[in-house]
Amino acid sequence: MDTSLSYYWETFTWLLQMGAIAALPVAIILYFTGHLQRILTAIYGTFTRDERNKFISYGVLFFFIIGIYWLLRCIKDPTFNAFIGSQYTWMAKIVSLAVIFPLVAGYSYLVDLFPRHRLFYAMSAIYGALFLGLWFLVQSPTFGIPAPEGQRWAMLGWVAYVVIESFGSLMVVLFYSFMADTTTPEAGKKGFFITATFAQIGAIFGSTVVAKASHVLGTEALYMVAGLVIAICIPAMVRFIMWFIPKDELSGYQAKGLASEKKKTGFVEGIKLMVMQPYLMGIFVVVSAFEVVATVFDLQFKVFIAEFAKGNADVYAAYTGEFGVYVNVLALLSLLLGIGNLGRRIGLTLSLALMPVLMIINIVVMEVAPSLAVVFWVMVFSKGINYALGQPSKEQLYIPTSRDAKYKSKAWVDTFGSRFSKATGSGIMGLRYGAGASMVMVTAVTFSVCIFWFLVALFLGKKHKHAVERNEVVC
């Protein structure tokens, strides 16, 4: 990208960033003046007043969760690079897989222990304390990031990486489980895209904070910001939702055989249900397939960034922050331009099947021209469209399922599936960088994954439609 074009593009994206950040207070003003309903109807479809209030409230909650997640995501790799080195990132993804079992077991225990809204309070307290503790450690001049390179405590890099990864999995899982549990299939066609819009605004905000503040505050200070927001803002918003939203709007999908499910089943039930039910295994494939391909792209991207940053954690963080902004600006524009309407028109089945087709196109582009600029834009396009279309479509699959499937199996699917696929993608790139395998082999593997993903997406869409039309629970 030449200098003049780069200048205009940066100016354009800066304006989009500021617009996205201003969108939340503007939305509040529009809400009280009555104009928000007309705008939402034009972009997302027709809503009742209670549905509008509900999904906007959910959106604000998701804004906090995703905003903090993207802030942490943008400092995760710089922190790991400072303590360990970016060349070991592939190993970190494999290590994170090993801690999934105790993490999800603990989460499943909390699911049985607390009502669904109090789960947010418990999880916020845990992660708020963890990130405040990490801030205290990583800012130490003796063994933290400010310390000389040889004196930094390497274990902090591993711990920070795993904790951030788990937050991105479990808190997002909890939100989507709560939303699927309190949303009907018809409302979900519109509501998931509204919350996705707020999520993209939050992601842009979190990425912008890192991009602009990492040089001023330092990467380590952002852990304190994350800990405070998690401990204060998320519980406060959940409490507001439970007070403000009518109880009948929190009842969700009512199908035959669903209301009688009251017993506590333990954390094993989640993984057992996932393994035994083809529908849940299909969702596992959809989650995993995208992450396998995206991880192959991502690891190449991280190597290029590390070479560009030359060991400077703040430069690395600023670059990843800018990447996050580009990704989420694309996703936000897609949502505001009506990609949710496209999803409703073509149906859930085709929405799910479209993602592997787009990823195949990206694989071909990567094979033809592998470079920092190409990888950057392939990653932006892949992640952006997934957040705007793939994620909202996938989450609708959980609506016609049981509580155990929504909370426990979903935790296993999203956390283990994500980590397993990242470990698989890392293993593929380990063959490339460690064993000298050719990129042709890597391309062939990822292409095959996308073909299988496409077939499974067709199966899931048909199964979901069949259950909803007959008012049944899939599993």
Question: 214-250: per-residue pLDDT in tens?
Answer: 667 777 888 999 999 999 999 999 999 999 988 888 8
Q: What is the pLDDT of residue 31?
A: 64
Start-end of H helices in 149-251: 154-181, 185-217, 221-244
Q: What is the pLDDT of residue 243?
A: 92
Question: 144-186: per-residue pLDDT in tens?
Answer: 878 887 778 888 888 999 999 889 889 998 999 999 888 888 8
Q: With pLDDT > 90 as the criterion, what percentage of the chain qualifies?
A: 20
Residue 26 burial (10 A CB sphere; 0-12, 13-18, 19+): exposed
Residue type, 401: T
The average pLDDT across 183-210 equals 84
Query: What is the average pLDDT value for the chain, to the nearest integer?
Result: 81
Question: 84-121: per-residue pLDDT in tens?
Answer: 877 777 678 777 777 877 888 888 888 888 888 899 99
**Residue 7: pLDDT over 80:** no
Tell me how far apart the alpha carbons of residues 337 and 335 are, in angstroms, rounded to a whole number: 5
Nearest CA to 219 out of 316, 153, 84 is that of: 316
Tell me which range, 193-202, 373-382, 414-423, 450-459, is most confidently predicted by mean pLDDT. 450-459
Instruction: Judge whether 4 and 184 are in contact, CB under 8 Å.
Output: no
Please tell us whether the domain made up of 13-252+263-469 is placed in CATH 1.20.1250.20: yes
Structure tokens at 229: 């927001």
Least trusted range by pLDDT, from 197-211, 259-273, 286-300, 455-469: 259-273
* pLDDT band, residue 311 (cuts 50/70/90): low
Q: In a 3-state reduction of DSSP, which class is residue 357?
A: helix
Q: In a 3-state reduction of DSSP, which class is residue 173?
A: helix
Where is 19: in which H helix or E strand?
Answer: helix 3-33
Query: Which sequence spans correspond to the domains of the chain?
Result: 13-252+263-469
φ and ψ at residue 251, rounded to 5 degrees? -85, -35
Residue that wins the pLDDT comparison between 465 and 259: 465
The average pLDDT across 37-56 equals 79
Q: What is the pLDDT of residue 220?
A: 80
Residue that wins the pLDDT comparison between 304 and 390: 390
Q: What is the pLDDT of residue 4?
A: 47
Q: What is the pLDDT of residue 230?
A: 95
The average pLDDT across 429-455 equals 80
Residue type, 23: A
Residue 327 CB contacts under 8 Å (≥ 6 apart), including other chains? 203, 207, 379, 380, 383, 384, 387
**Residue 264: pLDDT over 60:** no
Q: In a 3-state reduction of DSSP, which class is residue 140?
A: coil
Question: 351-387: per-residue pLDDT in tens?
Answer: 899 999 989 988 888 778 777 777 778 888 888 888 7
**Residue 37: pLDDT over 50:** yes
